[in-house]
Amino acid sequence: MRVTFPHMGNMWISVKALLENLDLDVVVPPPCTNRTMSLGVRHSPEFICLPLKVNLGNYMEAAEMGANTIAIAGGVGPCRFGYYSRLQKEILDDLGYNYRMVILEPPQRHFGEIFKEMDKLTKFSLGQFFTAARLAWLKCCLIDAVEERVHKLRAWELTAGQVDKVYKEALSNIDASQTRREIIKAKERALESLNDIRTDSTREVVRVAIVGEIYTILEPYVNQDAERHLGRLGVEIDKSLYLSRWVNDHLLGGFLPLESSRDALKMAAPYLNSFVGGHGRESVGYTVKYARESYDGVIQIAPLTCGPEIVAEAILPEVAVKEGIPVMTIYVDEHSGEAGLITRLEAFVDMIRRRKYHGWDAAAGQERGFEDVLSRG
């Protein structure tokens, strides 16, 4: 059995660590490229959301490398992701692929249900599972720690590209680490190298938060590398979602003392008073939270036709005005182009930079500024 799984940013490093330590033969799909996208798009329903299409491309490319089993999470709605696994299986069957699917559904009664499904992959002891899970979890947390630092530092680096060089190295070092000690060492080395990077403290840096749907936030291929572009434009970034935070909130029930989305969820009211599936309520809640933490702007990123994010999008203009924070929504699909994205990011960043550093806060100007943001041209 050769197991594969879909890509989502750096998730592959942790999932690979987990599965390999359960003695499975793991096939990591090639990184997402235009080929991945076009393979997926060709065989997916026309207006299904983008993650399904890219996932499908991942499976098809992994099959070329000999994968025959897919491990993927399930769901019970109302977000479409819950039915991804099934629809993808039907598509792959119709295309003649001989894939077996192991679907990890959220446990309805007790946690043991997940183990039962994972039993289909391989026989392992509980002890072996916990060792593997702890190692994967450590990788996940430390990658996120490095990433958080990278998001801040890009805005300040003197020579563009330095930070990304260290970041890339750190990822491959963490991926190659086999023991706890090695992982921690790799992370510390990365943070040290990041600290050594020469910065330009005179830059007019602004702080922007990214909210939205998890896949489009975490997978740089589908968001056209928005974070890197923002970094180059002199923007410090925070994201509403990191993989470790999501796993803790959703799979571990907020069990570990990490920063949780719980506070942000509460802040969604009175703008949005119900969960709406996916990350819709998080998007609204985090926008409020970031506004109150005096961020300079918020960018919502989501796949086109994403229901939960459409609800959030409809409500965000009101949040923007009442909480006093510029908000821009960006939808991505297979037709998105990088140049168009950069233009919009530049315009947005110019606007909030003028607002922050050049006294564009006069009542009239501010109003016009918001109009510009809200019209999302």
Partner 1 sequence: MAVKVGIPRALFYFYYYPLWKSFLENLGARVVVSPPTNKRIMDAGVKKAVDEACLPVKVYYGHVLELVGSVDLLFAPRLISVEKRAYICPKFMGLPDMIRSNIDGLPPMMDTTIDVSRKSKNLHKGVQEMGRFLSKSPRKITRAWEKALEKHEVFLGLTYSGFLPHEAIEIMEGGCRKVETMGDDSLKIALLGHGYNIYDEHISMNIVRNLKNMGVRVVTPDILPPEVTEAEAAKLPKRMFWTLGKRMLGGVLHYIHDSDVDGIIYVAAFGCGPDSMIADLSERFVRRHKKIPFMLLTLDEHSGEAGVLTRLEAFVDMLTWRGVS
Q: Cα–Cα distance between 69 and 99 in angstroms, integer? A: 5
Nearer to partner 1, 121 or 304 (CB): 304
From residue 292, alpha-carbon distances to 112, 246, 286 in Å are 41, 22, 10
Quick one: residue 274, left, alpha or beta (phi over 0 = left, psi -120 to 50 = alpha)? beta
As measured in angstroms, the least distance from the Cβ of 306 to partner 1 is 8
Nearer to partner 1, 7 or 89 (CB): 89
As measured in angstroms, the least distance from the Cβ of 212 to partner 1 is 13
As measured in angstroms, the least distance from the Cβ of 117 to partner 1 is 13
Nearer to partner 1, 79 or 230 (CB): 79
Please count the helices (runs of H) and the strands (runs of E) in the chain. Answer: 16, 8
**Residue 347 token pair:** 């315009």
**Residue 157 token pair:** 């680096």
Q: Cα–Cα distance between 333 and 88 in angstroms, integer? A: 18
As measured in angstroms, the least distance from the Cβ of 4 to partner 1 is 20
As measured in angstroms, the least distance from the Cβ of 58 to partner 1 is 19
Q: Cα–Cα distance between 7 and 10 in angstroms, integer? A: 8
Nearer to partner 1, 18 or 49 (CB): 49
Nearer to partner 1, 220 or 307 (CB): 307
C-beta contacts of 123-126 below 8 A and 24+ residues apart: 124/22, 124/23
As measured in angstroms, the least distance from the Cβ of 104 to partner 1 is 13
Nearer to partner 1, 344 or 356 (CB): 344
Nearer to partner 1, 305 or 366 (CB): 305
Bridge partners of 300, per DSSP, are 211, 329
As measured in angstroms, the least distance from the Cβ of 349 to partner 1 is 23
Rule CB under 8 A: which residues touch partner 1? 45-49, 74, 76-80, 82-83, 85-87, 89-91, 94, 103, 271-278, 280, 304-308, 310-315, 317-318, 331
Nearer to partner 1, 74 or 220 (CB): 74
Burial 272-301 (b: 16+ CB within 10 A, else e): beeebbbbbbbbbbbbbbbbeeebbbbbbb
As measured in angstroms, the least distance from the Cβ of 300 to partner 1 is 11
Dihedral, CA of residue 67, residue 143, residue 88 and residue 31, to nearest 10: -60
Nearer to partner 1, 21 or 287 (CB): 287
Return the biggest CA–CA distance within the chain: 67
As measured in angstroms, the least distance from the Cβ of 95 to partner 1 is 11
DSSP E strand boundaries for 235-368: 235-239, 297-303, 327-332
From residue 64, alpha-carbon distances to 29, 86, 98 in Å are 9, 21, 12
As measured in angstroms, the least distance from the Cβ of 233 to partner 1 is 26
CB 277, CB 271: distance < 8 Å: no
Among 113, 5, 16, which residue's Cα sits nearest to residue 61? 5
Nearer to partner 1, 318 or 350 (CB): 318
CB 207, CB 235: distance < 8 Å: yes
